Amino acid sequence: MYDDAAEVIVHIEKNQIRRALLGFTIIIVNYAADRISKQWAILTLKGKGIVNVIGDFFILIYAENTGAFLSAGAGWPSIIKYILLLIIPLLLCCYGIYYIFIKEKRYSHIVSLACIIGGGLGNLIDRLVNNFIVVDFLNFGIGKLRTGILNVADLSVTFGALAFIIIEMGRKRKEQNLLEGYKELDIDTNTQDK
């Protein structure tokens, strides 16, 4: 297939560039969708109360969150907030970007991790430039069973995490089935030898 080692290296570099571009694009799309939707919420929903989109199942309501998911940590001292809501997430995002650009070779993992990073950066940058205030405006549920008020970044992180878990579970199940198939093949071969 390849005439020399140089062609192999060029092929590997092209694949790495493709994977990096895919990851970069997904991070940017998720981040941009979050930024645009938050600006829209500020201009359209702030001070308006509840807006029913699909009956009571999907509503829009403007909220400012000074904590993390479901306002966890909103009342923490500033130093704890900086460490847990800025520094650690920033380090994780930086490592995640390095990992998907340099290390990860599976496209499915790149997509799911890039969604997590893009959403994470959306909320992280809000906290950094808005004195820990993150705009939330989406709410889903039936009756009293509802999500917290969230944003597009939260959806990106949740989708990416769920996709990653499902992909990993499928991969492990496939490996297990393959291993069981090899064991059966080995048993059949051993019984035929006797």
Question: What per-residue confidence (pLDDT) applies to 62?
Answer: 97
* Domain span holding position 47: 5-193
Which active-site residues does the annotation give? 136, 154
Question: For residue range 54-81, what is the model confidence (pLDDT) as tens digits?
Answer: 999 999 999 999 877 667 777 888 899 8
Say if residue 51's pLDDT is above 60.
yes
| Structural domain total, the chain | 1
User: What letter would DSSP give residue 144?
Assistant: T
Contact between 116 and 160 under an 8 Å Cβ cutoff? The reply is: yes
Question: For residue range 160-169, what is the model confidence (pLDDT) as tens digits?
Answer: 999 999 999 9
Q: What percent of the chain has pLDDT over 70?
A: 86
Distance CA 102, CA 99 (A): 5
Question: What per-residue confidence (pLDDT) applies to 7?
Answer: 64
